[in-house]
Structure 1
Amino acid sequence: MVKGIARRVVVIDVADQHFFEQAIFIVRNGAVGEGVSSQDLVEEARRVAETYTGTGTTVVRRLWTHLAPVAYGLCGASATALAFFYYFYH
């Protein structure tokens, strides 16, 4: 048991609740006194949480995640077709 220690925390509910429900951030002791508002702390904690859960990813990355299996399949089919035509028609 720790006595005499008071810590500030920011608790963020995670949007993607497949594995995690909340993210808990422990605020540095001097952070609040440096002109940082509580809203700034919450926004920064939300931004950091989104980078770890993947909800803040770019459109290109989300699109590639869904199209990657299709792209790999097309590349494999193209390589197989090229090998077939090279072997039989060369």
Structure 2
Amino acid sequence: MVKGVSRRVVVVQPDAHGLFEQAIFLVRDYTVPRGDVVREACRIANGYVAGRSARYKRRFAFWQIACAFAAGCMLASAAWSVIWLLA
């Protein structure tokens, strides 16, 4: 909460309904032209949306997960076999 200080605020609302309804930026430097501030705020908001959508892509294929599971099972079985033989 800002108390006793006047702040310059830029509110960006996307055209399409996406991840967010609006983005609010508090501007620190008053000497920057208004058009530059709005352009930079839109660039940051669009970059955030692009970065978030790319992050949710599948990282591993099903066969990779299945092979890792099988390798883990075989490793655990081998470890128990060695422990059982030494006991």
How far residue 81 of structure 1 moved from its aligned partner, in angstroms, is: 5.3
Distance 1:16 1:50, change over 3 A: farther
What is the aligned partner in structure 2 of residue 50 from structure 1? 46
Q: TM-score normalized by structure 1?
A: 0.50
Structural RMSD (CA): 3.5
Q: Structure 1 pair 43/77, CA: closer, same or farther in 2 (3 Å)?
A: same
The aligned length equals 70
CA distance in 2, matches of 1:16, 1:47: 17
* C-alpha distance after superposition, 1:39-86 (max 9, x if no partner): 1101221233334xx42329xx72x63222xx25221222355667xx
Provide the TM-score with structure 2 as the length reference: 0.51
| Greater C-alpha Rg | 2
Unaligned runs of 5+ residues in structure 1 are none
Question: Which residue is 2:30 aligned to?
Answer: 32
2:58 is the alignment partner of 1:67: yes
Report deviation, 1:10. 0.6
Matched with 1:12 is: 12
